[in-house]
Amino acid sequence: MSHTIRMNKLSRALALAAAVGAGAAHAAGPVQVGSYYTAWSTEQGFRLKQLDQAGVAARFTFLNYAFANLYKMPDDTYRCDSGRDIKDAADGAGMRATLDYAHHFSASESVDGSADGPSQPLAGNFNQLRQLKAKHPKLKVMLAIGGAEWSRWFSAGAATAPLRRALVSSCIDMYIKGDLPLLNGHGGKGAAAGLFDGFDIDWEYPGVPLMAYNTISPADKQNFTLLLAEFRSQLNALGKKQRKKYYLTAAVNSGAKTTDAAEPDKYSKSLDWINLMTYDFTGGWNKQGPTGFHSNLYADPGSPDTDKQSVHTGVQRFLKAGVPAKKLVIGVPFYARGWSGVPPARYGLYQSAGAPARGFEEGTEKYSTLAPRKTPKFYHPISKQLWTYDNGIFWTYDDPLVIKEKAAYVRDNRLGGMMSWALDQDDTEFSLSKAMLEAQ
């Protein structure tokens, strides 16, 4: 077939990606390589100790801990808050404080081999991050605020200058100065001081609400820029007093709609880099398909995707908007998107579907689950994307070869680096994380 090549027959080296353009800015400083570490991965058996033992933590430049949440307060301000557990109930109010700093890891589970005790100020995931930083002092750890389900109050909290000041100040007090609420003998003033090196702002999305319960305003376009500027201002002021640099990044969707709803050229000035979400181009929300790629490096002219989405398209979009290349850190998924009931034409590519495939979520599966399967793999020569097809089941995802191709793209175009969602979805050898390191 003209558009596919079986991976096990691919004998030549993967072609280097085309240059973004002669106007791309030269990278300055280190290439950033890191990932998101989610609170709930603890419940699924993931331990930061594994990342350390695999040798990856020694070479990663950052980790983003996901997520902190914002809440509306009785005085009508919006602030970071913690200190209790709130189950997610489709209202954006969830909180996982016990996992954050009150969960007890045993000695065999912990990074440095010490068990959490009942009265130490910092336990749980936060203490594991602290232990990891102690072993790898160059590793930056940022606290990610928001995310797909916890972005309810960003718009309201960013609406005025006083509200922005209160929001940012509360997050700095709680997570940078480390004044955590008491919880089961843990927390207290300064409990997390020195742990976080800054924030990653995951407002999904200014002017384009992902969830029906999110606040939204036409003023989000300017207020996102102003909110990031307020974070930068307060972090810089604290850093000056402490003689320390604090980092500020943001996770940003790479699509046209979300990009046009914000001011990349302006807000990027407040950021050390942008974590560009160059994935989820399609998925099981299109229940009957067509099947296609969700994290392809290049657009395929033969794809039914009318927007012709790709990593390259997203990068070009931000370069044209005035964002320096060195501030673009492209995202790679450690998970697949897929469908079932797919006919065999083109080995399932660009075909109709009966339903989303079954995975750990509807239409979504971890790389660690798919990697051991003996399903035939196919590699698209134009889009540089992998897919599998077997008995009507279609999955599209990144494997080490696909990620190495993207790493070459980062190097060739002098971009800021690579990030991934999320650590616990990699295999036990951290094959995907190690492939990302080739961007350095």
Q: Is 338 domain-assigned? A: no
Looking at 1-5, 206-210, 432-436, which range is the least confident one?
1-5
Q: Is 132 domain-assigned? A: yes
Q: Is 16 domain-assigned? A: no
pLDDT score recorded for residue 26: 37
pLDDT score recorded for residue 54: 98
pLDDT score recorded for residue 427: 98
How many angstroms separate the Cα of 94 from the Cα of each of 82, 87, 141, 150, 334? 10, 5, 22, 7, 24
Which has more confidence, 16 or 80? 80
Q: Is 271 domain-assigned? A: yes
Residue 19 has pLDDT above 50, yes or no: no
Residue 254 has pLDDT above 70, yes or no: yes
First to last CA, the chain: 36
Tell me the pTM.
Answer: 0.93
Whether the Cβ atoms of residue 417 and residue 61 lie closer than 8 Å to each other: yes
- Residue range 281-290: mean pLDDT, rounded: 98
pLDDT score recorded for residue 29: 73
Q: What are phi and psi of 64, to 5 degrees?
A: -110, 120
Q: How confident is the model at residue 28 (pLDDT cuts 50, 70, 90)?
A: low
The total number of structural domains in the chain stands at 1
Q: How far apart are CA 440 and CA 438, in angstroms?
A: 5
Q: Is 319 domain-assigned? A: yes
Q: How confident is the model at residue 20 (pLDDT cuts 50, 70, 90)?
A: very low
- Residue range 262-272: mean pLDDT, rounded: 98
- Residue range 226-247: mean pLDDT, rounded: 98
Whether the Cβ atoms of residue 264 and residue 321 lie closer than 8 Å to each other: yes
Q: Is 360 domain-assigned? A: no
Q: Is 294 domain-assigned? A: yes
Q: 3-state SS of the chain?
A: CCCCEEHHHCCCCCCCCCCCCCCCCCCCCCCEEEEEEEHHHHHHCCCHHHHHHCCCCCCCCEEEEEEEEEEECCCCCEEEECCCEECCCCCCCCEEHHHHHHCCCCCCCCCCCCCCCCCCCCCHHHHHHHHHHHHCCCCEEEEEEECCCCCCCHHHHCCCHHHHHHHHHHHHHHHHCCCEEEECCEEECCCCCCCCCEEEEECCCCCCCCCCCCCCCCCHHHHHHHHHHHHHHHHHHHHHHHCCCCEEEEEEECCHHHHHCCCHHHHHHHCCEEEEECCCCCCCCCCCCCCCCCCCCCCCCCCCCCCCCCHHHHHHHHHHCCCCHHHEEEEEECEEEEEECCCCHHHHCCCCCCEECCCCECCEEEHHHHCCCCCCEEECCCCCCEEEEECCEEEEECCHHHHHHHHHHHHHCCCCEEEEECHHHCCCCCHHHHHHHHHC
Interior angle at CA 354, CA 353 and CA 356, nearest 5: 80
Q: What is the dihedral of CA 213, 214, 217, 221, to 10 degrees?
A: -160
Residue 32 has pLDDT above 70, yes or no: yes
CB atoms within 10 A of CB 51: 24
How many angstroms separate the Cα of 34 from the Cα of each of 70, 140, 433? 24, 9, 8
Whether the Cβ atoms of residue 194 and residue 178 lie closer than 8 Å to each other: yes
Which has more confidence, 16 or 121? 121
Domain that holds residue 211: 21-333+399-439
Tens-place pLDDT, residues 349-374 = 999 999 999 999 999 999 999 999 99
- Give percent of the chain with pLDDT exceeding 90: 93
Q: Is 387 domain-assigned? A: no
Average pLDDT score over the chain = 94
- Residue range 89-106: mean pLDDT, rounded: 98
- Residue range 279-285: mean pLDDT, rounded: 98
223 CB-near residues (< 8 Å, 6+ apart) = 155, 158, 159, 164, 206, 217
CATH code: domain of residue 61: 3.20.20.80
pLDDT score recorded for residue 7: 36
